[in-house]
Structure 1
Amino acid sequence: MTTDTAHDCNGVTLHAETFGDPADPAVLLVHGACASMLWWEEELCRRIAAAGRYVVRYDQRDTGRSTSFPPGEPGYGLRDLAADAVALLDALGIDRAHVVGRSMSGGVALVLGVDHPDRVRSLTLVSTTTGELPMGSLDVPPDPDPGDPAAVVEYLVEAFRAYAGGSAHFDEDTTRALAAADVARTRDLRATMTNHFAMDFDGPRGGGWGDLRVPTLVVQGELDPVFPPVHGQALRDAVPGARLVVLPGSGHDVLEPVWDRFVAELVEHTS
Protein backbone atom coordinates (compact mmCIF):
# COMPACT_ATOMS: atom_id res chain seq x y z
CA MET A 1 0.00 0.00 0.00
CA THR A 2 1.25 3.48 -0.91
CA THR A 3 -0.02 6.79 0.46
CA ASP A 4 0.89 10.32 -0.59
CA THR A 5 -0.01 13.07 1.89
CA ALA A 6 0.88 16.53 3.23
CA HIS A 7 1.32 17.14 6.97
CA ASP A 8 1.63 20.20 9.20
CA CYS A 9 4.88 19.59 11.07
CA ASN A 10 6.84 21.91 13.34
CA GLY A 11 5.36 25.01 11.72
CA VAL A 12 5.88 23.89 8.12
CA THR A 13 4.10 21.65 5.63
CA LEU A 14 5.95 18.47 4.68
CA HIS A 15 4.96 16.33 1.74
CA ALA A 16 5.47 12.61 2.40
CA GLU A 17 4.87 9.26 0.78
CA THR A 18 4.71 5.89 2.50
CA PHE A 19 5.12 2.34 1.20
CA GLY A 20 4.11 -0.93 2.78
CA ASP A 21 2.27 -2.03 5.89
CA PRO A 22 2.11 0.47 8.79
CA ALA A 23 2.34 -2.50 11.16
CA ASP A 24 5.89 -3.23 9.93
CA PRO A 25 8.98 -1.54 11.42
CA ALA A 26 9.23 2.01 10.07
CA VAL A 27 12.18 3.21 7.97
CA LEU A 28 12.46 6.99 7.57
CA LEU A 29 14.47 8.03 4.50
CA VAL A 30 16.02 11.51 4.76
CA HIS A 31 17.75 12.82 1.65
CA GLY A 32 20.63 15.24 1.35
CA ALA A 33 21.05 18.84 0.22
CA CYS A 34 18.65 20.23 -2.38
CA ALA A 35 17.14 16.80 -3.09
CA SER A 36 13.46 15.97 -2.78
CA MET A 37 12.12 12.60 -1.79
CA LEU A 38 12.11 11.50 -5.45
CA TRP A 39 15.84 10.78 -5.19
CA TRP A 40 14.93 7.93 -2.87
CA GLU A 41 13.62 6.21 -5.98
CA GLU A 42 10.12 4.73 -5.86
CA GLU A 43 11.29 1.27 -6.91
CA LEU A 44 13.96 1.28 -4.19
CA CYS A 45 11.31 2.21 -1.62
CA ARG A 46 9.07 -0.61 -2.86
CA ARG A 47 11.90 -3.12 -2.56
CA ILE A 48 12.56 -2.10 1.04
CA ALA A 49 8.84 -2.31 1.81
CA ALA A 50 8.60 -5.74 0.19
CA ALA A 51 11.23 -6.92 2.69
CA GLY A 52 8.85 -6.14 5.56
CA ARG A 53 9.46 -2.48 6.30
CA TYR A 54 7.09 0.50 6.40
CA VAL A 55 8.99 3.05 4.31
CA VAL A 56 8.56 6.82 4.61
CA ARG A 57 10.17 9.25 2.20
CA TYR A 58 9.49 12.98 2.28
CA ASP A 59 10.41 16.40 0.92
CA GLN A 60 12.42 18.35 3.46
CA ARG A 61 12.00 22.12 3.69
CA ASP A 62 12.86 23.90 0.45
CA THR A 63 12.55 20.75 -1.66
CA GLY A 64 9.69 19.35 -3.73
CA ARG A 65 6.23 20.31 -2.55
CA SER A 66 7.16 21.12 1.05
CA THR A 67 7.34 24.64 2.49
CA SER A 68 9.82 26.99 0.82
CA PHE A 69 11.62 29.92 2.42
CA PRO A 70 13.00 33.06 0.77
CA PRO A 71 16.03 32.18 -1.37
CA GLY A 72 19.22 32.76 0.61
CA GLU A 73 17.28 33.34 3.84
CA PRO A 74 16.25 29.92 5.17
CA GLY A 75 16.21 30.92 8.83
CA TYR A 76 16.57 27.31 10.01
CA GLY A 77 19.26 24.73 10.76
CA LEU A 78 19.87 21.02 11.10
CA ARG A 79 18.10 20.95 14.45
CA ASP A 80 14.97 22.31 12.80
CA LEU A 81 15.15 19.65 10.09
CA ALA A 82 15.48 17.00 12.80
CA ALA A 83 12.49 18.48 14.65
CA ASP A 84 10.56 18.33 11.36
CA ALA A 85 11.34 14.62 11.14
CA VAL A 86 10.11 14.01 14.68
CA ALA A 87 6.91 15.94 13.94
CA LEU A 88 6.39 13.89 10.77
CA LEU A 89 6.73 10.67 12.77
CA ASP A 90 4.10 12.07 15.15
CA ALA A 91 1.79 12.93 12.25
CA LEU A 92 2.13 9.41 10.86
CA GLY A 93 1.59 7.78 14.25
CA ILE A 94 5.09 6.29 14.33
CA ASP A 95 6.64 5.93 17.77
CA ARG A 96 10.18 4.99 16.68
CA ALA A 97 11.82 4.61 13.28
CA HIS A 98 14.96 3.27 11.67
CA VAL A 99 16.44 6.51 10.32
CA VAL A 100 18.44 6.58 7.07
CA GLY A 101 20.29 9.87 6.47
CA ARG A 102 22.06 10.50 3.20
CA SER A 103 24.89 12.99 2.58
CA MET A 104 24.02 16.32 4.28
CA SER A 105 21.25 14.58 6.20
CA GLY A 106 23.78 12.44 7.99
CA GLY A 107 23.81 15.56 10.16
CA VAL A 108 20.02 15.40 10.56
CA ALA A 109 20.34 11.75 11.54
CA LEU A 110 23.04 12.66 14.09
CA VAL A 111 20.76 15.22 15.75
CA LEU A 112 17.93 12.70 15.82
CA GLY A 113 20.12 9.99 17.33
CA VAL A 114 21.68 12.19 20.01
CA ASP A 115 18.84 14.57 20.93
CA HIS A 116 15.82 12.32 20.18
CA PRO A 117 17.07 8.78 20.92
CA ASP A 118 13.62 7.68 22.09
CA ARG A 119 12.37 8.11 18.50
CA VAL A 120 15.22 6.23 16.79
CA ARG A 121 15.55 2.45 16.53
CA SER A 122 18.73 2.57 14.46
CA LEU A 123 20.72 4.85 12.18
CA THR A 124 22.00 4.20 8.68
CA LEU A 125 24.43 6.87 7.46
CA VAL A 126 24.81 6.89 3.68
CA SER A 127 27.53 8.78 1.80
CA THR A 128 28.21 11.18 4.64
CA THR A 129 30.99 12.39 6.93
CA THR A 130 31.99 13.38 10.43
CA GLY A 131 32.81 16.81 9.00
CA GLU A 132 36.42 16.65 10.15
CA LEU A 133 38.04 15.61 6.84
CA PRO A 134 38.28 17.64 3.63
CA MET A 135 35.72 16.98 0.93
CA GLY A 136 36.79 15.71 -2.45
CA SER A 137 36.73 17.93 -5.53
CA LEU A 138 33.93 17.86 -8.10
CA ASP A 139 33.91 19.03 -11.69
CA VAL A 140 30.37 20.37 -11.97
CA PRO A 141 29.02 22.99 -14.39
CA PRO A 142 28.22 26.54 -13.27
CA ASP A 143 24.94 27.03 -11.45
CA PRO A 144 22.07 27.39 -13.93
CA ASP A 145 19.41 30.09 -14.05
CA PRO A 146 16.70 28.80 -11.67
CA GLY A 147 14.16 30.52 -13.90
CA ASP A 148 15.03 28.12 -16.73
CA PRO A 149 13.72 24.65 -15.75
CA ALA A 150 15.31 22.94 -18.75
CA ALA A 151 18.72 24.35 -17.80
CA VAL A 152 18.23 23.13 -14.22
CA VAL A 153 17.47 19.63 -15.47
CA GLU A 154 20.65 19.56 -17.57
CA TYR A 155 22.65 20.90 -14.64
CA LEU A 156 21.32 18.13 -12.38
CA VAL A 157 22.21 15.46 -14.92
CA GLU A 158 25.79 16.69 -15.12
CA ALA A 159 26.04 17.16 -11.35
CA PHE A 160 24.88 13.61 -10.69
CA ARG A 161 27.31 12.38 -13.34
CA ALA A 162 30.08 14.05 -11.36
CA TYR A 163 28.77 12.62 -8.06
CA ALA A 164 28.96 9.15 -9.59
CA GLY A 165 32.74 9.45 -9.62
CA GLY A 166 33.13 7.62 -12.92
CA SER A 167 30.92 4.74 -11.81
CA ALA A 168 29.52 2.50 -14.53
CA HIS A 169 26.27 2.51 -12.53
CA PHE A 170 25.39 6.03 -13.69
CA ASP A 171 22.51 6.04 -16.19
CA GLU A 172 21.97 9.34 -18.00
CA ASP A 173 18.43 8.63 -19.20
CA THR A 174 17.21 7.53 -15.76
CA THR A 175 18.85 10.54 -14.12
CA ARG A 176 17.34 12.96 -16.65
CA ALA A 177 13.85 11.53 -16.11
CA LEU A 178 14.18 11.88 -12.32
CA ALA A 179 15.59 15.39 -12.62
CA ALA A 180 12.74 16.47 -14.90
CA ALA A 181 10.13 15.03 -12.52
CA ASP A 182 11.80 16.74 -9.56
CA VAL A 183 12.04 20.13 -11.26
CA ALA A 184 8.41 19.92 -12.39
CA ARG A 185 7.11 19.42 -8.84
CA THR A 186 9.41 21.85 -7.00
CA ARG A 187 7.76 24.94 -5.50
CA ASP A 188 10.75 27.29 -5.75
CA LEU A 189 13.84 26.17 -7.65
CA ARG A 190 15.86 29.18 -6.52
CA ALA A 191 15.21 28.32 -2.84
CA THR A 192 15.93 24.64 -3.47
CA MET A 193 19.30 25.37 -5.02
CA THR A 194 20.48 27.78 -2.32
CA ASN A 195 18.86 27.37 1.07
CA HIS A 196 20.34 24.10 2.27
CA PHE A 197 23.78 25.61 1.77
CA ALA A 198 22.81 28.85 3.52
CA MET A 199 21.22 27.30 6.62
CA ASP A 200 22.77 26.99 10.07
CA PHE A 201 24.73 23.74 10.35
CA ASP A 202 24.12 23.46 14.08
CA GLY A 203 24.69 20.11 15.74
CA PRO A 204 23.02 18.18 18.51
CA ARG A 205 22.62 19.81 21.89
CA GLY A 206 23.46 16.55 23.64
CA GLY A 207 26.86 15.70 22.18
CA GLY A 208 28.35 14.32 18.99
CA TRP A 209 29.09 11.14 17.06
CA GLY A 210 30.67 9.47 20.07
CA ASP A 211 27.47 9.96 22.06
CA LEU A 212 25.27 7.88 19.76
CA ARG A 213 23.89 4.83 21.53
CA VAL A 214 21.72 3.36 18.76
CA PRO A 215 22.86 0.64 16.33
CA THR A 216 24.55 2.40 13.42
CA LEU A 217 25.39 1.26 9.89
CA VAL A 218 27.72 3.33 7.69
CA VAL A 219 27.28 2.90 3.93
CA GLN A 220 30.07 4.22 1.73
CA GLY A 221 30.51 4.25 -2.04
CA GLU A 222 33.88 2.94 -3.17
CA LEU A 223 34.18 5.72 -5.79
CA ASP A 224 32.47 8.55 -3.89
CA PRO A 225 34.21 11.76 -5.04
CA VAL A 226 32.40 13.95 -2.49
CA PHE A 227 33.26 11.99 0.65
CA PRO A 228 35.96 9.51 -0.39
CA PRO A 229 36.25 6.16 1.47
CA VAL A 230 38.35 7.59 4.28
CA HIS A 231 35.24 9.50 5.37
CA GLY A 232 33.30 6.29 5.82
CA GLN A 233 36.13 4.77 7.80
CA ALA A 234 36.37 7.83 10.05
CA LEU A 235 32.62 7.80 10.62
CA ARG A 236 32.66 4.13 11.56
CA ASP A 237 35.46 4.79 14.02
CA ALA A 238 33.67 7.81 15.51
CA VAL A 239 30.39 6.01 16.32
CA PRO A 240 30.55 3.36 19.06
CA GLY A 241 29.88 -0.09 17.61
CA ALA A 242 29.21 1.14 14.07
CA ARG A 243 29.58 -1.20 11.11
CA LEU A 244 30.90 -0.09 7.70
CA VAL A 245 29.66 -1.41 4.34
CA VAL A 246 31.45 -0.31 1.17
CA LEU A 247 29.42 -0.54 -2.05
CA PRO A 248 31.80 -1.63 -4.85
CA GLY A 249 31.75 0.50 -7.98
CA SER A 250 29.46 3.11 -6.40
CA GLY A 251 29.91 6.85 -6.17
CA HIS A 252 28.03 9.28 -3.94
CA ASP A 253 24.55 8.01 -4.80
CA VAL A 254 22.96 4.60 -4.32
CA LEU A 255 22.15 3.65 -7.90
CA GLU A 256 20.08 0.71 -9.12
CA PRO A 257 22.87 -1.83 -9.76
CA VAL A 258 23.64 -1.91 -6.00
CA TRP A 259 20.06 -1.80 -4.70
CA ASP A 260 19.99 -5.52 -3.93
CA ARG A 261 23.08 -5.19 -1.74
CA PHE A 262 21.86 -1.97 -0.13
CA VAL A 263 18.43 -3.38 0.67
CA ALA A 264 19.90 -6.60 2.06
CA GLU A 265 22.27 -4.67 4.35
CA LEU A 266 19.51 -2.29 5.47
CA VAL A 267 17.08 -5.12 6.22
CA GLU A 268 19.71 -7.01 8.20
CA HIS A 269 20.59 -3.85 10.14
CA THR A 270 16.98 -3.07 10.95
CA SER A 271 16.03 -6.60 11.99
Structure 2
Amino acid sequence: MTDHLSPRPSHRLSHGEKLIEVDDVELCVETFGNPADPAILLVDGAAASMLWWETGLCARIAQGGRYVIRYDNRDTGRSTGYPPGRPGYTYTDLAGDALGVLDALDVERAHIVCRSMAGGIGLIVGVDHPDRVESLTFVSTSTGEDGLPPSSDELAAGIPADPDPADQDAVVDFVVASAHACSGGSPYFDESATRTLVEQDVARARDIASTLVNHYAMSFDGSSRDFAALRAPTLVVHGDHDPVLPLPHGQALCAAVPGATLLVLEGAGHDLPKPLWDVFVPALLRHTAGGRT
Protein backbone atom coordinates (compact mmCIF):
# COMPACT_ATOMS: atom_id res chain seq x y z
CA MET A 1 0.00 0.00 0.00
CA THR A 2 1.49 3.37 -0.95
CA ASP A 3 1.48 6.30 1.40
CA HIS A 4 -1.70 8.28 1.87
CA LEU A 5 -0.89 11.87 2.63
CA SER A 6 -4.17 13.63 3.31
CA PRO A 7 -4.47 14.69 6.96
CA ARG A 8 -7.23 13.78 9.33
CA PRO A 9 -10.35 15.96 8.95
CA SER A 10 -9.74 19.39 10.44
CA HIS A 11 -13.32 19.75 11.66
CA ARG A 12 -15.38 17.56 13.94
CA LEU A 13 -17.35 14.63 12.68
CA SER A 14 -21.08 15.15 12.35
CA HIS A 15 -23.41 13.48 14.81
CA GLY A 16 -23.52 9.76 14.09
CA GLU A 17 -20.34 9.65 12.00
CA LYS A 18 -17.31 7.75 13.24
CA LEU A 19 -13.89 6.87 11.89
CA ILE A 20 -12.97 3.19 11.86
CA GLU A 21 -9.66 1.51 11.08
CA VAL A 22 -9.62 -1.02 8.25
CA ASP A 23 -6.10 -2.35 7.88
CA ASP A 24 -4.06 0.83 7.52
CA VAL A 25 -6.80 3.20 6.34
CA GLU A 26 -9.52 5.21 8.03
CA LEU A 27 -13.08 5.03 6.77
CA CYS A 28 -15.86 7.34 7.90
CA VAL A 29 -19.04 5.40 8.68
CA GLU A 30 -22.57 6.27 9.75
CA THR A 31 -25.41 3.93 10.68
CA PHE A 32 -29.19 4.22 10.95
CA GLY A 33 -31.63 1.97 12.77
CA ASN A 34 -31.32 -1.01 15.07
CA PRO A 35 -28.18 -3.18 14.81
CA ALA A 36 -30.37 -6.20 15.56
CA ASP A 37 -32.21 -5.71 12.25
CA PRO A 38 -30.95 -7.11 8.92
CA ALA A 39 -28.02 -5.00 7.73
CA ILE A 40 -27.97 -3.08 4.46
CA LEU A 41 -24.56 -1.79 3.35
CA LEU A 42 -24.76 1.12 0.90
CA VAL A 43 -21.71 1.51 -1.37
CA ASP A 44 -21.55 4.48 -3.72
CA GLY A 45 -19.77 5.06 -6.99
CA ALA A 46 -16.95 7.16 -8.39
CA ALA A 47 -16.15 10.38 -6.52
CA ALA A 48 -19.29 10.05 -4.40
CA SER A 49 -19.12 10.21 -0.61
CA MET A 50 -21.74 8.58 1.57
CA LEU A 51 -23.77 11.81 1.54
CA TRP A 52 -25.08 10.84 -1.89
CA TRP A 53 -27.03 8.11 -0.08
CA GLU A 54 -29.16 10.90 1.36
CA THR A 55 -29.91 10.96 5.07
CA GLY A 56 -33.65 10.94 4.39
CA LEU A 57 -33.33 7.86 2.20
CA CYS A 58 -31.27 6.02 4.80
CA ALA A 59 -33.77 6.93 7.53
CA ARG A 60 -36.69 5.71 5.43
CA ILE A 61 -35.01 2.35 4.79
CA ALA A 62 -34.20 2.03 8.51
CA GLN A 63 -37.83 2.70 9.37
CA GLY A 64 -38.65 -0.42 7.37
CA GLY A 65 -36.76 -2.55 9.90
CA ARG A 66 -33.26 -2.46 8.45
CA TYR A 67 -29.88 -1.55 9.93
CA VAL A 68 -28.52 0.86 7.31
CA ILE A 69 -24.78 1.46 6.93
CA ARG A 70 -23.25 4.10 4.70
CA TYR A 71 -19.59 5.08 4.47
CA ASP A 72 -17.10 7.24 2.60
CA ASN A 73 -14.97 5.31 0.14
CA ARG A 74 -11.29 6.16 0.10
CA ASP A 75 -10.64 9.58 -1.43
CA THR A 76 -14.16 10.78 -0.61
CA GLY A 77 -15.55 12.59 2.41
CA ARG A 78 -13.59 12.05 5.60
CA SER A 79 -11.99 8.74 4.72
CA THR A 80 -8.31 8.27 3.94
CA GLY A 81 -7.11 10.25 0.96
CA TYR A 82 -4.19 9.94 -1.44
CA PRO A 83 -2.33 12.48 -3.58
CA PRO A 84 -4.30 13.58 -6.66
CA GLY A 85 -3.71 11.18 -9.53
CA ARG A 86 -1.93 8.65 -7.29
CA PRO A 87 -4.55 6.40 -5.69
CA GLY A 88 -2.77 3.89 -3.49
CA TYR A 89 -5.39 1.18 -3.97
CA THR A 90 -7.24 -0.93 -6.50
CA TYR A 91 -10.84 -2.00 -7.04
CA THR A 92 -10.17 -5.12 -4.98
CA ASP A 93 -8.94 -2.98 -2.09
CA LEU A 94 -12.22 -1.05 -2.13
CA ALA A 95 -14.11 -4.34 -1.98
CA GLY A 96 -11.99 -5.26 1.02
CA ASP A 97 -12.97 -1.96 2.63
CA ALA A 98 -16.65 -2.89 2.34
CA LEU A 99 -15.99 -6.14 4.19
CA GLY A 100 -13.85 -4.26 6.71
CA VAL A 101 -16.75 -1.96 7.51
CA LEU A 102 -18.95 -4.97 8.19
CA ASP A 103 -16.25 -6.50 10.39
CA ALA A 104 -15.87 -3.30 12.39
CA LEU A 105 -19.61 -3.23 13.04
CA ASP A 106 -19.77 -6.96 13.89
CA VAL A 107 -22.00 -7.70 10.91
CA GLU A 108 -21.50 -11.24 9.66
CA ARG A 109 -23.77 -11.03 6.60
CA ALA A 110 -25.36 -8.05 4.89
CA HIS A 111 -27.53 -7.00 1.99
CA ILE A 112 -25.10 -5.16 -0.30
CA VAL A 113 -26.44 -2.21 -2.34
CA CYS A 114 -23.97 -0.85 -4.91
CA ARG A 115 -24.42 2.13 -7.20
CA SER A 116 -22.70 2.92 -10.50
CA MET A 117 -18.93 2.18 -10.34
CA ALA A 118 -19.48 0.33 -7.05
CA GLY A 119 -21.28 -2.39 -8.97
CA GLY A 120 -17.83 -3.89 -9.42
CA ILE A 121 -17.36 -3.88 -5.66
CA GLY A 122 -20.58 -5.82 -5.24
CA LEU A 123 -19.44 -8.25 -7.94
CA ILE A 124 -16.10 -8.91 -6.22
CA VAL A 125 -17.68 -9.35 -2.80
CA GLY A 126 -20.47 -11.53 -4.18
CA VAL A 127 -18.16 -13.85 -6.10
CA ASP A 128 -15.22 -14.02 -3.68
CA HIS A 129 -17.08 -13.79 -0.35
CA PRO A 130 -20.60 -15.20 -0.87
CA ASP A 131 -20.79 -16.14 2.81
CA ARG A 132 -20.94 -12.43 3.68
CA VAL A 133 -23.77 -11.58 1.29
CA GLU A 134 -27.49 -11.99 2.00
CA SER A 135 -28.52 -10.28 -1.23
CA LEU A 136 -27.20 -7.88 -3.86
CA THR A 137 -28.76 -4.77 -5.34
CA PHE A 138 -27.14 -3.04 -8.30
CA VAL A 139 -28.25 0.54 -8.95
CA SER A 140 -27.36 2.33 -12.22
CA THR A 141 -24.55 -0.04 -13.11
CA SER A 142 -23.45 -2.38 -15.90
CA THR A 143 -21.72 -5.59 -16.86
CA GLY A 144 -19.38 -3.50 -19.00
CA GLU A 145 -19.69 -5.97 -21.86
CA ASP A 146 -19.06 -5.02 -25.47
CA GLY A 147 -21.96 -3.92 -27.60
CA LEU A 148 -23.86 -1.91 -25.00
CA PRO A 149 -24.76 1.68 -25.93
CA PRO A 150 -22.30 4.41 -24.98
CA SER A 151 -23.05 7.39 -22.79
CA SER A 152 -25.22 9.99 -24.48
CA ASP A 153 -23.86 12.98 -26.40
CA GLU A 154 -25.97 15.21 -24.16
CA LEU A 155 -24.08 13.94 -21.11
CA ALA A 156 -20.72 15.04 -22.49
CA ALA A 157 -22.14 18.38 -23.55
CA GLY A 158 -23.60 19.00 -20.10
CA ILE A 159 -20.42 18.41 -18.07
CA PRO A 160 -18.24 21.56 -17.86
CA ALA A 161 -14.47 21.77 -17.93
CA ASP A 162 -12.64 20.54 -14.85
CA PRO A 163 -12.58 23.21 -12.13
CA ASP A 164 -9.66 24.56 -10.12
CA PRO A 165 -9.81 22.39 -6.97
CA ALA A 166 -8.68 25.37 -4.90
CA ASP A 167 -11.80 27.31 -5.93
CA GLN A 168 -14.53 25.78 -3.78
CA ASP A 169 -17.34 27.67 -5.49
CA ALA A 170 -16.13 26.50 -8.90
CA VAL A 171 -15.99 22.91 -7.66
CA VAL A 172 -19.56 23.13 -6.35
CA ASP A 173 -20.78 24.55 -9.66
CA PHE A 174 -18.96 21.78 -11.53
CA VAL A 175 -20.42 18.95 -9.44
CA VAL A 176 -23.94 20.39 -9.59
CA ALA A 177 -23.73 20.75 -13.37
CA SER A 178 -22.36 17.20 -13.65
CA ALA A 179 -25.20 15.85 -11.49
CA HIS A 180 -27.69 17.70 -13.68
CA ALA A 181 -26.16 16.16 -16.80
CA CYS A 182 -26.21 12.70 -15.20
CA SER A 183 -29.92 13.09 -14.46
CA GLY A 184 -30.53 12.76 -18.20
CA GLY A 185 -33.13 15.51 -18.26
CA SER A 186 -35.14 13.82 -15.52
CA PRO A 187 -38.17 15.85 -14.44
CA TYR A 188 -37.26 14.96 -10.86
CA PHE A 189 -33.86 16.70 -10.76
CA ASP A 190 -33.84 19.20 -7.88
CA GLU A 191 -31.03 21.70 -8.44
CA SER A 192 -31.50 23.48 -5.12
CA ALA A 193 -31.36 20.28 -3.05
CA THR A 194 -28.43 19.03 -5.11
CA ARG A 195 -26.49 22.25 -4.54
CA THR A 196 -27.06 22.01 -0.79
CA LEU A 197 -25.78 18.43 -0.77
CA VAL A 198 -22.75 19.30 -2.92
CA GLU A 199 -21.82 22.25 -0.70
CA GLN A 200 -21.84 19.94 2.31
CA ASP A 201 -19.89 17.29 0.44
CA VAL A 202 -17.17 19.65 -0.78
CA ALA A 203 -16.82 21.27 2.64
CA ARG A 204 -16.25 17.96 4.44
CA ALA A 205 -13.83 16.38 1.95
CA ARG A 206 -10.27 15.79 3.11
CA ASP A 207 -8.93 16.66 -0.34
CA ILE A 208 -11.45 17.54 -3.03
CA ALA A 209 -8.73 17.49 -5.71
CA SER A 210 -8.21 13.79 -5.01
CA THR A 211 -11.96 13.14 -4.88
CA LEU A 212 -12.38 14.54 -8.37
CA VAL A 213 -9.80 12.29 -10.05
CA ASN A 214 -8.55 9.32 -8.06
CA HIS A 215 -11.34 6.79 -8.56
CA TYR A 216 -10.90 7.22 -12.30
CA ALA A 217 -7.15 6.66 -11.99
CA MET A 218 -7.14 3.42 -9.98
CA SER A 219 -6.61 -0.07 -11.29
CA PHE A 220 -9.85 -1.96 -12.00
CA ASP A 221 -8.27 -5.29 -11.14
CA GLY A 222 -11.52 -6.99 -10.17
CA SER A 223 -13.15 -6.79 -13.58
CA SER A 224 -12.39 -10.44 -14.39
CA ARG A 225 -15.22 -11.68 -12.15
CA ASP A 226 -18.29 -13.06 -13.90
CA PHE A 227 -21.76 -11.81 -13.00
CA ALA A 228 -23.08 -15.26 -13.92
CA ALA A 229 -21.17 -16.63 -10.90
CA LEU A 230 -23.30 -14.66 -8.45
CA ARG A 231 -25.68 -16.77 -6.38
CA ALA A 232 -27.17 -14.24 -3.97
CA PRO A 233 -30.70 -12.97 -4.68
CA THR A 234 -30.18 -9.95 -6.92
CA LEU A 235 -32.20 -6.85 -7.69
CA VAL A 236 -31.17 -4.57 -10.57
CA VAL A 237 -32.43 -0.98 -10.40
CA HIS A 238 -32.03 1.32 -13.40
CA GLY A 239 -33.46 4.63 -14.56
CA ASP A 240 -34.96 4.85 -18.03
CA HIS A 241 -33.40 8.32 -18.47
CA ASP A 242 -29.85 7.24 -17.54
CA PRO A 243 -27.43 9.01 -19.93
CA VAL A 244 -24.28 7.54 -18.35
CA LEU A 245 -25.28 3.89 -18.66
CA PRO A 246 -28.45 3.75 -20.77
CA LEU A 247 -31.16 1.29 -19.77
CA PRO A 248 -29.80 -1.62 -21.89
CA HIS A 249 -26.89 -1.77 -19.41
CA GLY A 250 -29.30 -2.57 -16.59
CA GLN A 251 -31.19 -5.02 -18.75
CA ALA A 252 -27.95 -6.80 -19.68
CA LEU A 253 -26.92 -6.97 -16.02
CA CYS A 254 -30.27 -8.47 -15.05
CA ALA A 255 -29.93 -11.06 -17.81
CA ALA A 256 -26.39 -11.95 -16.72
CA VAL A 257 -27.19 -12.72 -13.06
CA PRO A 258 -29.13 -15.96 -12.53
CA GLY A 259 -32.61 -15.25 -11.20
CA ALA A 260 -32.15 -11.47 -11.01
CA THR A 261 -35.10 -9.07 -11.02
CA LEU A 262 -35.16 -5.72 -12.85
CA LEU A 263 -36.80 -2.59 -11.44
CA VAL A 264 -36.98 0.25 -13.98
CA LEU A 265 -37.35 3.67 -12.38
CA GLU A 266 -39.40 5.70 -14.83
CA GLY A 267 -38.11 9.25 -15.12
CA ALA A 268 -34.83 8.58 -13.28
CA GLY A 269 -31.40 9.21 -14.71
CA HIS A 270 -28.16 7.97 -13.14
CA ASP A 271 -29.49 8.85 -9.70
CA LEU A 272 -32.20 7.98 -7.18
CA PRO A 273 -34.40 11.09 -7.13
CA LYS A 274 -36.43 11.65 -3.99
CA PRO A 275 -39.86 11.47 -5.71
CA LEU A 276 -39.03 7.86 -6.66
CA TRP A 277 -38.08 6.71 -3.16
CA ASP A 278 -41.70 5.59 -2.79
CA VAL A 279 -40.93 3.08 -5.55
CA PHE A 280 -37.35 2.18 -4.65
CA VAL A 281 -37.63 1.76 -0.87
CA PRO A 282 -40.56 -0.71 -0.84
CA ALA A 283 -38.83 -2.74 -3.56
CA LEU A 284 -35.60 -2.81 -1.56
CA LEU A 285 -37.44 -3.80 1.63
CA ARG A 286 -39.18 -6.65 -0.18
CA HIS A 287 -35.90 -7.78 -1.70
CA THR A 288 -34.12 -7.78 1.66
CA ALA A 289 -36.97 -9.30 3.65
CA GLY A 290 -35.78 -12.91 3.46
CA GLY A 291 -38.13 -14.91 5.64
CA ARG A 292 -39.45 -11.83 7.41
CA THR A 293 -43.08 -10.83 7.14
Using the size of structure 2 for normalisation, the TM-score is 0.90
1:269 aligns with 2:287: yes
Q: Within 1, Cα distance between the matches of 2:150 and 2:212?
A: 19
Deviation at 1:203, TM superposition (A): 1.4
1:160 aligns with 2:179: yes
Q: Within 1, Cα distance between the matches of 2:135 and 2:266?
A: 24
1:178 aligns with 2:197: yes
Runs of 4+ with deviation above 2 angstroms: none
Q: Within 2, Cα distance between the matches of 1:172 and 1:10?
A: 38
Q: Can you give the 5+ residue segments of structure 1 that lack an aligned partner in the other structure? A: none
Alignment of 1:172-211 (within 5 A): 172-203=191-222, 207-211=225-229
Q: Which residue is equivalent to 1:259?
A: 277
Q: Which amino acid aligns with 1:268?
A: R
Deviation at 1:7, TM superposition (A): 0.2
SS in 2 for 1:61: coil
Q: Which residue is equivalent to 1:79?
A: 92
Q: Within 2, Cα distance between the matches of 1:11 and 1:144?
A: 31
1:57 aligns with 2:76: no
Q: Which amino acid aligns with 2:41?
A: L
SS in 2 for 1:154: helix
Q: Which amino acid aligns with 2:183?
A: A
Which of 214, 237, 244 is residue 262 of structure 2 equivalent to? Answer: 244
SS in 1 for 2:268: coil
Q: Within 1, Cα distance between the matches of 2:234 and 2:257?
A: 7
1:93 aligns with 2:110: no
Deviation at 1:243, TM superposition (A): 0.5
Identity of aligned residues (%): 59
- Contact map agreement 1:38 1:182 (CA 8 A) in 2: yes
- Contact map agreement 1:114 1:211 (CA 8 A) in 2: yes
SS in 2 for 1:64: coil
Using the size of structure 1 for normalisation, the TM-score is 0.97
Alignment of 1:120-139 (within 5 A): 120-132=133-145, 133-137=148-152, 138=155, 139=157
Q: Which residue is equivalent to 1:26?
A: 39
**Distance of aligned partners of 1:247 and 1:5 in 2 relative to their CA distance in 1, 3 Å threshold:** same
- Contact map agreement 1:10 1:83 (CA 8 A) in 2: no
SS in 1 for 2:16: strand
Q: Can you give the 5+ residue segments of structure 2 that lack an aligned partner in the other structure? A: 1-14
- Contact map agreement 1:167 1:249 (CA 8 A) in 2: yes
| Residue-pair matches, total | 269
1:212-245 superposed Cα distances (whole Å, 9 cap, x missing partner): 0100000000100011110011000111111000
Q: Within 2, Cα distance between the matches of 1:80 and 1:34?
A: 16
Q: Which residue is equivalent to 2:248?
A: 230
Q: Which residue is equivalent to 1:41?
A: 54
Q: Give the RMSD, CA atoms, in angstroms.
A: 1.1
- Contact map agreement 1:164 1:223 (CA 8 A) in 2: yes
Deviation at 1:134, TM superposition (A): 4.3
Deviation at 1:10, TM superposition (A): 2.7
Q: Within 2, Cα distance between the matches of 1:135 and 1:264?
A: 31
- Contact map agreement 2:149 2:248 (CA 8 A) in 1: no
- Contact map agreement 1:45 1:55 (CA 8 A) in 2: yes
SS in 1 for 2:189: coil
SS in 2 for 1:99: strand
- Contact map agreement 2:149 2:246 (CA 8 A) in 1: no
SS in 2 for 1:18: strand
Q: Within 2, Cα distance between the matches of 1:268 and 1:10?
A: 34
1:156-182 superposed Cα distances (whole Å, 9 cap, x missing partner): 111011011011100110000000000
- Contact map agreement 1:129 1:227 (CA 8 A) in 2: yes
- Contact map agreement 2:44 2:50 (CA 8 A) in 1: yes
Q: Within 2, Cα distance between the matches of 1:161 and 1:22?
A: 35
- Contact map agreement 1:115 1:204 (CA 8 A) in 2: no
